[in-house]
Amino acid sequence: MPADLANDPLAALPGYALRRAATTQMAQLSVRMGTIGLRVTEASVLLLIGARPGLTSADIGKILDIQRANMAPLLARIEDAGLIVRAPIDRKSQAILLTRAGETRRAEVEAITNAFEAELLARIPAEHRDHLLPALQALWD
């Protein structure tokens, strides 16, 4: 059901609209990432590692706002899938790097992401479009 001011008194609230827009869009992105066997969070990690190889698990968690405790099983899944390897930095930390298969998968994630982002922006009336990203960035911390 699209935003319906007449019947839904919550539809006029930016915070509520933010939640509804995010859940709807993320559900759609989840379906697309599912076609290549990835969850959205796993896909976001592949994009980050591709852009910044050598980050540690803790680094990735801080940047993507994922708790260290939740990074462990996430990395285990994409490692089991052969997409990443761990290179020891010292006896405590490990750099996360993409494998060849991981780089291939990352490129697929990038293609899906670019198409998704383009379609998302296309849905927004032109006069509002360029304001979305800066407005959202101001709400994020």
Partner DNA sequence: TATTGTTATACTCTATAACTATA
Partner DNA sequence: TATAGTTATAGAGTATAACAATA
- With binding defined as CB under 7 A, does residue 76 bind DNA? yes
Q: How many residues bind DNA (CB under 7 A)?
A: 26
Q: Which stretch in 4-12, 84-92, 98-106, 120-128 sits in contact with DNA by CB under 7 A?
A: 84-92
| Residues contributing to the site for a second copy (CB under 8 A) | 1-4, 7-26, 29, 40, 44, 47-48, 51-52, 62-65, 113, 116-117, 120-121, 123-125, 127-129, 131-141
Site map 89..108 versus DNA, x via CB under 7 A: -xxxxx--------------
The set of residues, in sequence order, having a beta carbon less than 8 Å from that of 32 and lying 6+ positions away, is 112, 115, 116
Q: Are 40 and 33 in contact (CB under 8 A)?
A: yes
Main-chain dihedrals φ then ψ at residue 28, nearest 5 degrees: -70, -40
Main-chain dihedrals φ then ψ at residue 86, nearest 5 degrees: -115, 130
What is the DSSP code string of 103-125? HHHHHHHHHHHHHHHHHHHHHS-
Residues lying near DNA in the complex (CB under 7 A) are found at: 23, 27, 30, 39-41, 56-59, 65-73, 75-76, 90-94
